Amino acid sequence: MIRPPAVLVLADGTIFEGYAAGHLAENGVTTGEFVFNTALSGYQEVITDPSYAGQIISFTYPHIGNYGVTPLDDEALRPWCRGIVARDLATVPSNWRATMGLESFLVQHRIPAIVGIDTRRLTRHLRQFGALPGAFGHASQEAVRAAAATAVGTDATDFVSQVSTPTLYTRGSGDVHVVAVDYGIKTTMVRQLAERFRLTVVPASTSADAILDLRPDGVFLSNGPGDPAALGDQVAVVRALVDTVPLFGICLGHQLLSTALGATTYKLPFGHHGSNHPVADLSTGRIEITAQNHNYAVTPDSLERGIVSHVNLNDGVIEGVAAAAERCFSVQYHPEAGPGPHDARYLFDRFETLVRTGRMERA
């Protein structure tokens, strides 16, 4: 396949040369914040995770697209990432589940890509200097460089309003009713909750009173994109829900719950994006391998209520909080595992126990 030459330029002026793939942007330039993901598989789930809104995903695994894509693996109705970076993009997928190739999927959803660059060098650069805004495309190097110079990251930006469902919807059945607040909820999360509860998913803009009017037995706070410090309205809603109904938060939901419990958040240098992060559950001593996708974290020693329940064994980042008196807990990582290991799916069972009994339970 003959691809047009393309260039990638970071905001600090670093240049990578490659070839344009996927959707070819009309002006030849795509901007966003560059982050790298270390997962060895599950590229479709990564690309369709709404938490990547505003970002360009660089895959550290050198060969992606080899098993194609299937609608069964979508984590949202459409990808929200700005673009894709890969060393090698397979042109001939081979898998009995595949309905199309990855590049056709990118074209269908208008997601630009750049391939053929040294993703190892890019990853090392982002590790050293942090997640950087920038640009890539098949326009002239001068045009891409100019776009990179004005590109912005995800700081202080509300992406949640872009990715949240515009209308309420329901899933599942049963005797227990849970309301999930959609900050960018993944399909696998909905599936895990609907297997246990009668589930109502509501927009991120829903007020605390409107949530309580639905008479939930518990409330779930989903994952989502961007900077939690930009979501003051959502924090106020969570703060109003604390101590009124059992709460379980994941990823952005964890950051919002922690903020409601008095904590602050900060931006990690290059975030955690991958499916092999070791986390310790401090209540049991159990070590689990987890899937993660976040650029922000809870500031150490800033929590005013509750305790730290989980920590990342790579760098000590807070990975979970719990407040037994307020009947709430949350984790920074992704126990639904789409993609990733299933070590942490017990947390959905822990939430069910909390909702049914009002008591926090160890695994």
Active centre residues (catalytic): 251, 334, 336
What are the DSSP calls for 325-355, one per residue? TTTEEEESSBTT-SSS--TTTHHHHHHHHHH
**CB contact at 8 A, 56 and 86:** no
- Contacts of residue 274, defined as CB under 8 A and 6 or more positions apart, other chains included, come to 37, 38, 39, 291, 292
Which two tokens mark 220? 């779930």
Residue 296's SS3 state is strand
* Ramachandran sector of residue 77 (left: φ over 0; alpha: ψ -120 to 50; beta: rest): alpha
- Which strand (E) or helix (H) includes residue 121? helix 119-129
| Sign of the dihedral defined by the CA atoms of residues 143, 146, 150, 151, in that order | positive
CA-nearest of 67, 22, 28 to 44 is 67
Number of H helices, E strands in the chain: 10, 19
